[in-house]
Amino acid sequence: MMKTQKDIIVVACILGMLGVGIGAFGAHALKGILMANNRLDTFELAVRYHFYHLLSLMTIGATFQLGNVTFLKWSANLLLVGILLFSGSLYVLAIFNQTAVAIVTPFGGLFLIAGWALAAYGFYKK
């Protein structure tokens, strides 16, 4: 669980590093598999949402002092779980063509929505 501004920024940086690595690996080493599975679009969606939300984490971390810290901590943690569930499940679906994992994706989306809502509330409450 991320508890400090520093934690949030470090996790966002690690997610950025992973996003670049996963995106590059998918574009080069996994392209044949993704094409064979007809899941290239799914993989690209996973990478795109991964990046959108890691940038959100970075922004929350960088502007931490402008909001209610308690709500922003919760927001950051919900966004992290959302990235892991949403993008993670889409990565598994795209690479391994395991459709059963798609049941997790909407839950990831709900965590992302809740994270955004708490971020809005956290900045509003300050």
Q: What is the DSSP letter of 126?
A: -
- State the pTM of this model: 0.95
Has residue 29 got a pLDDT over 90? yes
Name, in order, each residue with C-beta under 8 angstroms of 39's C-beta and a sequence gap of 6 or more.
Answer: 93, 94, 95, 97
Can you tell me which residue has the tokens 């922004």?
Answer: 59
Tell me the average pLDDT of the chain. Answer: 96
Do 116 and 57 touch, CB atoms closer than 8 A? Answer: no
Has residue 12 got a pLDDT over 90? yes
The residue segments making up the domain with residue 71 are 5-125
What is the arithmetic mean of pLDDT over 90-95? 97
Q: What is the DSSP letter of 30?
A: S
Both structure tokens of 99: 């459709």
Instruction: Count how many domains the chain has.
Output: 1
Has residue 126 got a pLDDT over 90? no
Q: State the pLDDT at residue 114.
A: 98
Q: State the pLDDT at residue 97.
A: 96
Do 92 and 114 touch, CB atoms closer than 8 A? Answer: no
Q: What angle in degrees, to the nearest 10, is found between the helix axes of 69-96 and 105-125?
A: 160
Half-sphere CA count of 117, side-chain side, radius 13 A: 8
